[in-house]
Structure 1
Amino acid sequence: MNNGHMNGEFRTEVQPALKSKLEEFRLLGMESVSEQELWGFLVKKKWKKVKHEMRLYEMIQEILSVKASDYLNFITIESYKSSEFSLENEEELKELLK
């Protein structure tokens, strides 16, 4: 199970760490975060520049060290990237310039 990342083969082995981090997020009031979303954050942000095959203990350490604020910042930026705001729409431009 690669999931598009060189460390994807360990996903089933690190699943307990993912579940633990999701439980921590739930205690902080972040009930809507899924395992898939957390994994996506790790792949796109934490492990984006990893050039070597990580060891299992390194992956678990990275998962358990994720801060809620880092995850929230990541999703905020991702939502801005996918936003369909365009200055070509005259009404949106007028609303912005108010």
Structure 2
Amino acid sequence: MGTIKTVHEWKTDVMPALESKANELRLLGYHHVTSGDVWECLNEKVWKNNPTKRLYEIVQDIFQLSSNTYMSYLTINAHQDDNLMASIAALTESNAHETE
């Protein structure tokens, strides 16, 4: 039937598919997307908890990743980054007041 592995175990095998999806997304206007970005998006949005799958299932998931799903992933990460930067700024500011 085909070998079943965890998603992470298939990563090197599916790199050409990840590159292809990144190229597709770049053509759609996501100019800075990399195969690593596609991988992280799929891990967060599609493959939560590193499930086991067959190779063809992983490739199918990659090619079915929609630009809407990728945009949602980018938006959520941007908000998280903003929150992290605000937290760092607040900590830095409070530490500066303590040392004065």
TM-score relative to the length of structure 1: 0.72
Counterpart of 1:17, as a letter, is A
Structure with bigger gyration radius: 2
Secondary structure, in 3 states, of the residue corresponding to 2:52? coil
> Root-mean-square deviation (CA), in Å?
1.8
Distance (Å, rounded) in 1 between the aligned partners of 2:81 and 2:24: 27
Distance (Å, rounded) in 2 between the aligned partners of 1:23 and 1:79: 22
Distance (Å, rounded) in 2 between the aligned partners of 1:26 and 1:68: 10
Distance (Å, rounded) in 2 between the aligned partners of 1:75 and 1:65: 17
Tell me the percent identity. 36
Structure with the larger helix share = 2
**Matching of residues 83-98 of structure 1 within 5 Å:** 83-84=82-83, 85=86
TM-score relative to the length of structure 2: 0.71
1:15 has 2:15 as partner: yes
Which protein has greater RCO, CA pairs closer than 8 Å, 6+ apart? 2
Q: Which consecutive aligned stretches of 4+ in structure 1 deviate over 3 angstroms post-superposition?
A: none
8 Å contact from structure 2 (residues 19, 34) kept in 1? no
The equivalent of 2:93 in structure 1 is none
- Structure 1 residue runs without a partner (length 5+): 1-5, 90-98
